[in-house]
Amino acid sequence: MASENHRVQKKKATGAFFFFMATLIMWAVSVFFEILFNKRIELLPLVAGFSLYQIANWVCRKFISRDPILVNTCVSLLHSSLTSTSVVFILVKQLTSNGLDELFEHSQLVEATWPWAYSALCISCGYFAYDQLDMLLYGLYSGWIPSILLHHFILLGCFTLALYRNVTINYLILTLICELHSIFLHVRKVRRMAGLRDAKNKFVKIEWFFNMSTFVLARLLSHVLILVKLVKDAAKFEKGIELPLALFGMVGMNLLNVFLGIDLFNAFKKEITQHNIHES
């Protein structure tokens, strides 16, 4: 316990901690200013989302484990499950109501807001703020420029500005389809913490199949297609911050996806290698 506290305190003395904590505090001040002074009550689901996942964190600590990594993973699994379910629900509802052509029409993605999409985006944005705070408080990151903190920093910036201006909400809902893949990322983490690492185990094989297939379809391919769509429709955007912000966010997400894909491949190769060593 003492060594763990020393590790966390050491990370809190780094430049990464101060930078990302400062940006998170500024983000929180901005959100409360919009709600309290500009009467933006439609942003309340954002606060509700943060509170929901913080409560889930406390419940996990009380009834499951006090291990910060396990608690963070369990709450992240809850977020991925709820968000992917809500995104699929929203998309299916729009497909049945308006058809595929209208679903991906430029004005629909930029100017319109599908039913439940704004609230779903708020709740997810609240989760990213919660997760950023949890990782900072418990030192659940590594490196001079931690990719996970940078990932949340980009998402909070893009999501919050879109919510403030009420534009590109539907575009951002499409990006959240990647949470289908995040489910299996978190399942793998929980599975390994539970000690199940046998590459020949049927459950492990099924998990890796869904992990890889959802990575390609729900994360890698979907984000590439969204970036292609943005570039193709660039001339249809009005002058302003929307297009540059959207391009910046999607380029950043696609780069992070490449690094994630490399990590996934290396993790898969490592599990197979370890299994072969044990069998030999």
Residue-wise pLDDT for 134-180, tens only, equals: 999 998 988 777 888 988 998 899 899 999 999 999 999 999 999 99
Q: How is residue 30 written in tokens?
A: 């901005």
Of all residues in the chain, what percent are helix, strand and coil, respectively (each to 5)? 85, 0, 15
* Domain of 61, in residue numbers: 2-279
Average pLDDT, integer, range 243-259: 89
Q: Which is nearest to 250 in space by CA: 233, 268, 263?
A: 233
pLDDT of 81-97, one tens digit each? 999 999 999 999 999 98
d(CA 232, CA 247): 11
d(CA 24, CA 132): 8
Mean pLDDT of the chain: 90
Average pLDDT, integer, range 95-122: 90
Q: Which residue has the higher pLDDT, 102 or 220?
A: 220
d(CA 179, CA 5): 32
Whole-number pLDDT of residue 101: 76
Are 264 and 212 a contacting pair, CB within 8 Å?
Answer: yes
- Look at the chain and report how many structural domains it folds into: 1
Q: Is 26 exposed, middle or buried (0-12, 13-18, 19+ CB in 10 A)?
A: exposed
What pTM was computed for the model? 0.91
Whole-number pLDDT of residue 242: 85
Whole-number pLDDT of residue 1: 55
d(CA 107, CA 111): 5
Are 111 and 231 a contacting pair, CB within 8 Å?
Answer: no
